[in-house]
Amino acid sequence: MPGMLVEGEWKTEERIPRDSEGRFVRSTTSFRDRVTADGSSGFGAEAGRYHLYVAWACPWAHRTAILRKLKGLEDAISMSVVGSYMGDDGWGWYGEPGEVPDDVNGARYLREVYQKADPSYTGRVTTPVLWDKETGTIVNNESREIIRMLDHEFDGVEGVRADLDFCPEDLREEVDRVIDEIYEPINNGVYRTGFAMKQPAYDEAVTELFEALNHWEEVLGERRYLCGERITEADWCMFPTLLRFDPVYVGHFKCNLRRIVDYPNLWNYTKDLYQQPGVAETANLDHIKKHYYRSHESINPSRIVPKGPIIDFDEPHDRDRFAGS
């Protein structure tokens, strides 16, 4: 893990945050403004006004890259992609294939973007970041809130797929409930498992993680997607974790009771989502593997990136047996 900003200054002595029992503790994010269709929040939905910073490696950022792609927001919202390595300087641009340089703020390190938004910012420098070019600040850096904005607020912008709604009104409660339900044991659970520093903390996290996967394996035996017959934001919150599971979390994070390929429904579901038009272009497995294995020196001191597993997300899936999009 890299450092963090303390009153606007970069400190590298900070480490992966853990409690006294060795449990990984995720920090809360601090930029929580919203873009709104009518501009009432001060951040109106306009083409060309916003810029998204992502890491291909990061599952939270991945959600936002997917929504941007699927909603047809690529022309309206520009995007930079940091390199895969997160070392002492945190996220930054190193000239690696797959990066997209920051032509908005000209940053070398992502922390510069946070410093510009708030010169006395204290907190972690995380992806994703939604930047407002007009006021020169960060609107929001919480993936779940960013995907909701991309899903709904830009529908009046030309070229945007207003016909696609990943959180329709009648499903909103259910979508939010499922996003909440998968967050702690699964999305954050893989990190709590991998970053645990004491045996009981690991045991607790890995047990919860697989209990939750077992549960969703069953649910997905009855319906095509997490909330029913249509793809929702909940699926786009689940997918980035499942995509990374076998290539990274099984080995690097010791999430190894089972692999996703051992779960017929979860595996076919993962392939179904991967094969949705546009999604594969957001799935950079090279950045994903390099990021985890090379950035977390405390759990992989050699920084060797394993060659396997051999896995094909393009192989046919069986989800057409259900009704659904």
Contact footprint for ligand GSH (CB under 6 A): 1-2, 4, 29, 58-60, 124-128, 141-144
Query: What is the separation of C-alpha 67 from the centre of its chain, rounded to a whole number of angstroms?
Result: 11
* Set 58, 167, 227, 237: catalytic member: 58
- C-beta of 87 vs 228, nearer to ligand GSH: 87
At its nearest, how many Å lie between ligand GSH and the CB of residue 63? 8
At its nearest, how many Å lie between ligand GSH and the CB of residue 158? 28
- 58 a catalytic residue: yes
Nearest Cα neighbor of 104 from 65, 130, 128, 69 is 130
- C-beta of 213 vs 248, nearer to ligand GSH: 248
- C-beta of 127 vs 265, nearer to ligand GSH: 127
- 227 a catalytic residue: no
DSSP state of 164: -
DSSP state of 169: G
> Which H or E run contains 121?
none
At its nearest, how many Å lie between ligand GSH and the CB of residue 118? 16
- In three-state secondary structure terms, 284 is coil
- C-beta of 263 vs 293, nearer to ligand GSH: 293
CB contact at 8 A, 191 and 209: no
At its nearest, how many Å lie between ligand GSH and the CB of residue 192? 12
DSSP-assigned states of every residue in 171-213 = GHHHHHHHHHHHIIIIITHHHHHHT--SHHHHHHHHHHHHHHH
CB contact at 8 A, 188 and 180: no
* Set 53, 109, 191, 293: catalytic member: 191
DSSP-derived pairing of the beta strands 129-132 and 50-55: antiparallel
- Provide the annotated active-site residues: 58, 191
